Amino acid sequence: MIEVKDLYKYYGEDPAVQGITFNVEKGEILGFLGPNGAGKTTTLRIITGYLYPTKGEVFIDGKSVLEDPLFCKRKVGYLPEDNPLYTDLTPREYLSFCAQVRGIENVKKRFEEVMGKTQIHDVWEKPIGELSKGYRQRVGIAQALLHDPEILILDEPTTGLDPVQIIEIRNLIKELSKEKTILLSTHILPEVQMLATRVVIIHKGLIRVEGTPDELSKKFKAREINFVLKGDENKIREKLEKADFVFSFEIEKKEDGVYGKFLPKGDGDVREKFAKFAYENGFLILELYSKSLGLEEVFVELTKEEGK
C-alpha cells in the first residue's frame, strides 16, 4: 500500500532523512520507531504530500504522491503529531467543515460510522477546547477516518495522554487495524510491542533495522558482546571505530582494565573475530562474553551515539 524509495530531505545543508526505503503492506500495522528528532515526522509529511522530498519517491497503492497527489490523499487518513483542531468548534462542527473540504457525500452516515468507531458521542456537541486530550485525539482520528481511507498514518497518537487515555487510544488503533493499513510513528517502545506487526527503527534520518518484533529480538539475541581488555583506552577506542565487525560500542576505563560492550554488524558469533582483533592490536582479553538483548535494549543500542 505504501512504498518509500530512497527518500532524502534536507533543510538547508542539514539532512533530516537520508536514503529511507521501506514498504507498508496491506493490512499490517507498521511501527515507525525512533527517538525524537530521528526523522519520523518529516518522513510522514512527505508520504502524505505535505512536504516535497529533496530526492526519492513515495507511492500510495501504486501511484506517485508527487504525480497524483489527490489520488494518494484520498487513500490516506492522517493524524499529525500536533493534531490541529479548531478549539472553538464542536466535534460535529469541525467534522462538518472537514467533510465539506473533502466533498464527502452522505455526511450523516459517515458521522454515525466515525462516532461509533471513535466513541465521541458524549462530546459531540461540546466545544473541542473543553475536551480532554484523549477526546481531542479521538476527534483527530475521526477526522482521519471521515473519508473512509484505506490507510491510516498516525504520528505519535498517544503523546501527552494519561495512562488510561493511552490504553483507550491503543485499543482504538487495534480495532481500526481490522479494516485499515496503519503506519504508526512513535518513540514509545511498548506501543510497538503491543500494536505493530512489523517495525522499522530510524535514527538520524537513517533506517537502522527492520523486521517483526520477534525477528528483531531473535536477530539480536545473544548479540551484545561484553569485554574487559588490558591496554591503552585511546588506542582501543581508535581501533574499535575502524573495526568492520562493530556497529556501535562504548568503553570505560577502570582501575583493572578497559570495560566495554559492542553491538556487532552482520550475523553469527563475532567473539572469534574480536579475539583476533585483540591479539593483532596487542590487547589482552581479561573477559569476553555475549548477552541476550530484548527489543527495548535493541532500540537503545541502535539509537545511541556511535563510538560512545
Contacts of 25 (CB under 8 A, 6+ apart): 1, 181
pLDDT value at position 307?
40
Say which residue the cell 551484545 belongs to.
Answer: 224
Local confidence band at 267 (pLDDT 50, 70, 90 cut-offs): low
**CATH for 2-214?**
3.40.50.300
Spatial separation of the C-alpha atoms in residues 60 and 68, rounded to whole Å: 9
The model's pTM is 0.74
How high is the pLDDT of residue 66?
Answer: 92
Domain boundaries, the chain: 2-214, 222-291
d(C-alpha 43, C-alpha 48), whole Å = 9
Sign of the dihedral through C-alpha 115, 119, 123, 129 = negative
pLDDT at residue 282 tops 80:
yes
Report pLDDT for 293.
66
pLDDT digit string, tens, across residues 133-153 = 999 999 999 999 999 999 999
Q: Give the separation between CA 273 and CA 275, rounded to whole angstroms.
A: 5
Residue 266 has pLDDT above 80, yes or no: no
Specify the fold of 222-291.
Answer: Alpha-Beta Plaits (3.30.70)
